[in-house]
Amino acid sequence: MMDESILKTVTVLYVEDDAYIRTLTARFLKRRVANLYEACNGKEGLDMYTLNKTDINIVITDIEMPFMSGMEMIEEILTMDESQPIIITTGYKDEFHTSGKVCKNIIKPIDCKKLLESILHCIGMKDNVSHNENAW
Protein backbone atom coordinates (compact mmCIF):
# COMPACT_ATOMS: atom_id res chain seq x y z
CA MET A 1 0.00 0.00 0.00
CA MET A 2 1.16 3.53 -0.73
CA ASP A 3 2.23 5.97 1.94
CA GLU A 4 -0.87 7.78 3.25
CA SER A 5 1.14 11.02 3.64
CA ILE A 6 0.64 11.37 -0.13
CA LEU A 7 -3.00 12.23 0.67
CA LYS A 8 -1.79 15.57 2.07
CA THR A 9 -0.72 16.50 -1.48
CA VAL A 10 -4.02 15.53 -3.13
CA THR A 11 -6.88 17.78 -4.20
CA VAL A 12 -10.29 16.09 -4.39
CA LEU A 13 -13.56 17.12 -6.02
CA TYR A 14 -16.37 15.42 -4.09
CA VAL A 15 -19.83 15.46 -5.69
CA GLU A 16 -22.81 14.22 -3.63
CA ASP A 17 -26.40 15.46 -3.55
CA ASP A 18 -27.27 14.01 -0.12
CA ALA A 19 -26.28 16.82 2.27
CA TYR A 20 -25.86 14.49 5.27
CA ILE A 21 -23.56 12.06 3.42
CA ARG A 22 -21.67 14.96 1.79
CA THR A 23 -21.09 16.65 5.16
CA LEU A 24 -19.85 13.48 6.88
CA THR A 25 -17.62 12.35 4.04
CA ALA A 26 -16.28 15.87 3.42
CA ARG A 27 -15.40 16.22 7.11
CA PHE A 28 -13.50 12.91 6.92
CA LEU A 29 -11.69 13.88 3.71
CA LYS A 30 -10.79 17.43 4.82
CA ARG A 31 -8.69 15.98 7.65
CA ARG A 32 -6.72 13.84 5.22
CA VAL A 33 -6.31 15.64 1.88
CA ALA A 34 -4.65 18.91 0.90
CA ASN A 35 -7.74 20.52 -0.60
CA LEU A 36 -11.38 19.54 -1.06
CA TYR A 37 -13.90 20.99 -3.47
CA GLU A 38 -17.53 20.06 -2.80
CA ALA A 39 -20.50 20.08 -5.16
CA CYS A 40 -24.13 19.08 -4.60
CA ASN A 41 -24.97 17.88 -8.13
CA GLY A 42 -23.35 16.92 -11.41
CA LYS A 43 -23.82 20.35 -13.00
CA GLU A 44 -22.15 22.11 -10.07
CA GLY A 45 -19.45 19.42 -10.03
CA LEU A 46 -18.73 19.89 -13.75
CA ASP A 47 -18.57 23.68 -13.35
CA MET A 48 -16.18 23.29 -10.40
CA TYR A 49 -14.06 20.80 -12.33
CA THR A 50 -13.89 23.07 -15.38
CA LEU A 51 -12.69 26.00 -13.25
CA ASN A 52 -10.18 23.97 -11.22
CA LYS A 53 -9.19 21.01 -13.43
CA THR A 54 -5.47 21.72 -13.23
CA ASP A 55 -5.66 21.44 -9.42
CA ILE A 56 -7.94 18.40 -9.08
CA ASN A 57 -6.17 15.06 -8.69
CA ILE A 58 -9.25 12.90 -8.21
CA VAL A 59 -13.02 13.14 -8.57
CA ILE A 60 -15.35 11.23 -6.23
CA THR A 61 -18.97 11.28 -7.31
CA ASP A 62 -22.42 9.90 -6.67
CA ILE A 63 -24.47 8.86 -9.71
CA GLU A 64 -28.14 9.67 -9.00
CA MET A 65 -28.27 13.47 -8.65
CA PRO A 66 -30.50 16.34 -9.80
CA PHE A 67 -29.71 18.64 -12.77
CA MET A 68 -26.98 16.37 -14.16
CA SER A 69 -26.28 12.76 -13.23
CA GLY A 70 -22.88 11.58 -12.12
CA MET A 71 -22.56 9.53 -15.33
CA GLU A 72 -23.20 12.62 -17.48
CA MET A 73 -20.65 14.59 -15.45
CA ILE A 74 -18.11 11.75 -15.74
CA GLU A 75 -18.49 11.67 -19.54
CA GLU A 76 -17.92 15.45 -19.75
CA ILE A 77 -14.88 15.31 -17.46
CA LEU A 78 -13.34 12.45 -19.44
CA THR A 79 -13.68 14.48 -22.66
CA MET A 80 -11.50 17.14 -21.00
CA ASP A 81 -9.00 14.68 -19.49
CA GLU A 82 -9.38 11.02 -20.39
CA SER A 83 -6.89 10.05 -17.66
CA GLN A 84 -8.72 11.87 -14.82
CA PRO A 85 -9.02 9.41 -11.91
CA ILE A 86 -12.67 9.09 -10.85
CA ILE A 87 -14.29 7.09 -8.07
CA ILE A 88 -18.02 6.38 -8.16
CA THR A 89 -19.90 6.10 -4.86
CA THR A 90 -23.42 4.72 -5.23
CA GLY A 91 -26.10 2.96 -3.29
CA TYR A 92 -26.99 0.83 -6.32
CA LYS A 93 -25.24 -2.39 -7.22
CA ASP A 94 -26.05 -2.67 -10.94
CA GLU A 95 -24.50 -1.89 -14.31
CA PHE A 96 -26.38 1.43 -14.62
CA HIS A 97 -24.65 2.92 -11.58
CA THR A 98 -21.10 1.73 -12.22
CA SER A 99 -18.64 2.27 -15.03
CA GLY A 100 -15.58 0.57 -16.43
CA LYS A 101 -14.28 4.02 -17.43
CA VAL A 102 -13.59 5.01 -13.82
CA CYS A 103 -10.84 3.92 -11.47
CA LYS A 104 -13.07 2.48 -8.71
CA ASN A 105 -16.75 1.83 -8.01
CA ILE A 106 -17.69 1.91 -4.30
CA ILE A 107 -21.07 0.82 -2.98
CA LYS A 108 -22.60 2.92 -0.17
CA PRO A 109 -22.54 3.10 2.75
CA ILE A 110 -19.00 4.33 2.22
CA ASP A 111 -16.31 2.48 4.14
CA CYS A 112 -13.84 5.29 4.92
CA LYS A 113 -10.82 2.97 4.96
CA LYS A 114 -11.81 1.58 1.55
CA LEU A 115 -12.30 5.13 0.25
CA LEU A 116 -8.77 6.15 1.30
CA GLU A 117 -7.31 2.97 -0.18
CA SER A 118 -9.20 3.69 -3.41
CA ILE A 119 -7.88 7.27 -3.57
CA LEU A 120 -4.31 6.05 -3.06
CA HIS A 121 -4.80 3.31 -5.67
CA CYS A 122 -6.22 5.72 -8.25
CA ILE A 123 -3.55 8.37 -7.68
CA GLY A 124 -0.90 5.66 -7.96
CA MET A 125 -2.38 4.45 -11.25
CA LYS A 126 -2.30 7.96 -12.73
CA ASP A 127 1.28 8.50 -11.53
CA ASN A 128 2.34 5.23 -13.13
CA VAL A 129 0.81 6.18 -16.48
CA SER A 130 2.59 9.51 -16.81
CA HIS A 131 3.79 12.39 -14.70
CA ASN A 132 3.22 14.91 -17.49
CA GLU A 133 -0.22 14.10 -18.90
CA ASN A 134 -1.76 17.33 -17.62
CA ALA A 135 1.12 19.52 -18.73
CA TRP A 136 0.22 22.19 -21.29
Q: What is the total count of domains within the chain? A: 1
Asked whether residue 135 is assigned to any structural domain, the reply reads no
Asked whether residue 53 is assigned to any structural domain, the reply reads yes
Asked whether residue 20 is assigned to any structural domain, the reply reads yes
Asked whether residue 134 is assigned to any structural domain, the reply reads no
Asked whether residue 133 is assigned to any structural domain, the reply reads no
Q: Residue 79's domain spans which residues?
A: 4-128
Asked whether residue 18 is assigned to any structural domain, the reply reads yes
Q: Is the pLDDT of residue 133 over 80?
A: no
Top pLDDT among 128 and 14 is at 14
Spatial distance between the Cα atoms of 103 and 122, rounded to a whole number of angstroms:
6
Residue 114 is part of a domain; what is its CATH number? 3.40.50.2300
Spatial distance between the Cα atoms of 113 and 63, rounded to a whole number of angstroms:
21
Q: pLDDT-based confidence at 45, cuts 50/70/90?
A: very high
Asked whether residue 136 is assigned to any structural domain, the reply reads no
**Sequence-distant (≥ 6) Cβ neighbours of residue 131 within 8 angstroms:** none
pTM higher than 0.75, yes or no? yes
Q: Where are the alpha helices (DSSP H) in the chain?
A: 19-30, 42-52, 70-80, 112-129
What per-residue confidence (pLDDT) applies to 126? Answer: 63
Spatial distance between the Cα atoms of 42 and 17, rounded to a whole number of angstroms:
9
